[in-house]
Structure 1
């Protein structure tokens, strides 16, 4: 499944029991379980509910970068690639909602426990 994040820029990020990424055009990604953040030549395994906030400092390099690819693979993992070559990879969790992608007009995709997806399509206001 493709997401509508391609071309969106990361505007801000907060970490407090979850990693929340705010993108341009009203898109948001919330990561609530362990994930892999990769920079060219470096890899970080991060967990927002366990790791201290300073562990997420390498992700600050993503600010103002554009997304070049955003997808959900067959197992329900979320993959986001940036124009610098950095990637975020979030596997589904067996017991919890691992990640959520939200957008304008009610667009929402939630990784349910076990990797099943719950989706809501955007419904623009009609005149």
Structure 2
């Protein structure tokens, strides 16, 4: 995979965000994780953040709509190890500081969106489908 590529599999898309760091976190009606290379992860619906084992492994449900996202500050500076968009509309991010972020599809709203380096975009559409925009040269 090139640094800007997406890889489609039967049940998922592998988003090559590996090594990109969370450089800024902002909150409005969504939580925005700004990454290196102008990549971004936008979370608009409640999502689960799993804290590392060393911190007493704990799942925390965060709700960007209520601006209840303080636990996400632990993602600042972390680098992405793995980013997967499942074709059911779920998202899974693994970070090098031990945090794991997971978001399920929402029946009524776009739950999350990832804008990748090179201009590709994946959105979890209402009901659990994915919308994927990418230059064909970026997919494999």
Equivalent in the alignment of 1:93: 106
1:21 paired with 2:25, answer no
Q: Residue deviations 1:74-127, cap 9 Å, x none?
A: 422000010111011000001111000012343111111111111111489xxx
Q: How many equivalent residue pairs?
A: 121
SS state of the match for residue 64, structure 2? coil
C-alpha deviation, 1:6, in angstroms: 1.3
Q: 2:43 aligned to 31, 34, 38, which one? A: 31
Q: 1:82 aligned to 74, 88, 95, which one? A: 95
1:46 paired with 2:59, answer no
The TM-score normalised by the length of structure 1 is: 0.87
* Cα contact 1:35–1:45 (8 A) shared by 2: yes
Structure 1 residues 123 and 103, CA gap change in structure 2 (3 angstroms): farther
The RMSD of aligned alpha carbons is 1.6
* Cα contact 1:29–1:100 (8 A) shared by 2: yes
1:9 paired with 2:21, answer yes
C-alpha deviation, 1:4, in angstroms: 1.8
Structure 2 unmatched ranges of 5 or more: 1-12
Once residues 57 and 93 of structure 1 are traced to their aligned partners in structure 2, the CA distance between those partners, rounded to angstroms, is: 22
Structure 1 unmatched ranges of 5 or more: none
SS state of the match for residue 127, structure 2? helix
